[in-house]
Amino acid sequence: MSETYAEYVWPAWVVSATALSVLVALSLRAYRQHVRRLAEL
Amino acid sequence: MLSALANPKRFMEFSGPALPWLWGACAGAFAIGIYLALFASPPDYQQGETVRIMYVHVPAAWMAMFVYTFMATASLAGMIWGHRVADFAAKAAAPVGAVFTALALITGMRWGKPMWGAWWQWDARLTSVLILFFLYLGYMALWAAIEDPFRAARAAAILCLLGFVNIPIIKFSVDWWSTLHQPASVFRADGPTIDGSMLAPLLVMATAYSLLFAAILFVRVRTEIIGQRIRALRQMALSEDASA
C-alpha cells in the first residue's frame, strides 16, 4: 500500500463509510423505537 | 405521484414495500461503485492514487446541494399546499444533508492537503459549502427549538428558502470568482471532461449515494409520521382523561 493510500485515501473512505453507517443505524433505531412506542399505546 | 405521496397513509403504504428494494439497490450500487473506484479504475496521471478520494468527495458534495434543493422544494410545497408529509420530508432530509456536507468538507480537506499543500483555503467554493453546513445546523436547531410542530415547520421553511440563495452561489462560485477549486468537469454544456474509466465509478458512487439518501429519507419520514400518530393518540388520551 502506497503512502498516499494510507495517509489520505483510506482515511477519506473510512470516515465516509463510518459517518454514513452511523446515520443509517441511528435512523433505523429511531424508527424501531417509534414503532414500539406506537404499539404500546 | 408526488402529490399522492403527500397523504401520510399512502406514503406509509408505498414506502413500506419500496424500502427493501431501495436498500438492495443501494447495497448493489455501493458494491459495484467500491469495486470500480478502488480496484478497477486507474490512478490519475497527475493526482496519482489521490484521485480515489474524488469518488467519495464529489458524490457527497453533489448530494449536499441536492438534499438542500430537495428541502427547499419540500418546504415550499409545505407552505403553499400545507402538506404535512412535505414538512416531514424537509425535516427528515436535514441531518442526511448535514452529514453529506460534512463529508464533502472532510474528504475535500484530505484531498486538498496532498494536492494543494493546505487542508483549508478561505476560497469561494469551500467557504460557501461551509455556510451550507451551518445552514443545515441552523435548520435543525430551529426545528428543535420550537415546540409546536406547525410553527416549527413554518419557521424552518422560511429559513430553508432564504438559505437556498447559497446553492447557486456554491454551484457558480468556481466561475464567478478566482478559486483554487477546479471548475465543473461533469455537468458541463460541452459534456464531461473526465475519462470514461473515472467517470463510471464517479457516476455509480453518485447513484449509490442517491439511493442511500432515498432509503434513509423514507425511514426518517416514516418515523416522523409515526411520531405524529403517537402525539395525536397521547393528546386524545389526555382529552379523555380531562373530560372524565
pLDDT digits (tens, 9 = 90+) for A1-41: 577 788 889 999 999 999 999 999 999 999 999 999 999 98
Contact A24 B229 (CB under 8 A): no
Rounded distance, CA B21 to CA B44, Å? 35
Give me the long-range contacts of B134-137 (CB less than 8 A, separation at least 24). Answer: B135/B68, B135/B159, B135/B160, B135/B163, B135/B166, B136/B68, B136/B94, B136/B95, B136/B97, B136/B98, B136/B101, B137/B98
Contacts of A35 in chain B (CB under 8 A): 226
* Confidence check: pLDDT of B132 > 60: yes
Higher pLDDT, B148 or B181: B148
State which of B28-32, B77-81, B174-178 shows the largest mean pLDDT.
B28-32
Rounded distance, CA B7 to CA B241, Å? 30
Rounded distance, CA B135 to CA B129, Å? 10
Substitution target in B53, B100, B106 with the highest count of A β-carbons within 10 Å is: B53
For residues B67-92, average pLDDT: 94
Q: Which pLDDT band holds residue B194 (cuts at 50, 70, 90)?
A: confident
User: What is the ipTM score, two decimals?
Assistant: 0.93
Contact of B28 with B234, CB cutoff 8 Å: no
Q: State the CB neighbour count (10 A cutoff) for residue B244.
A: 5
> Full-prediction pTM beyond 0.90?
yes
Phi-psi region of B194 (alpha: psi -120 to 50; beta: other; left: phi over 0): beta
Of B53, B96, B237, the CB nearest to A23: B96
Of B48, B106, B219, the CB nearest to A4: B48
What grid cell was written down for B175? 466561475
Which of B111-120, B157-166, B206-215 bottoms out in mean pLDDT, i.e. has the lowest? B111-120
For chain B, give the mean pLDDT. 92
Cα nearest neighbour of A11 on chain B: B110
What is the distance in angstroms between the Cα of A7 and the nearest Cα belonging to chain B?
9
Of A16, A24, A37, the CB nearest to B107: A16
For residues B85-99, average pLDDT: 96
Of A4, A24, A30, the CB nearest to B223: A30
Q: Beta partners for B44?
A: B48
Instruction: Give the pLDDT score at B139.
Output: 97
Higher pLDDT, B104 or B114: B104
| The residue count for chain B | 244
Instruction: Give the pLDDT score at B153.
Output: 94
What is the distance in angstroms between the Cα of B190 and the nearest Cα belonging to chain A?
30
Q: What is the pLDDT of residues B25-37, one digit of tens each?
A: 999 999 999 999 9
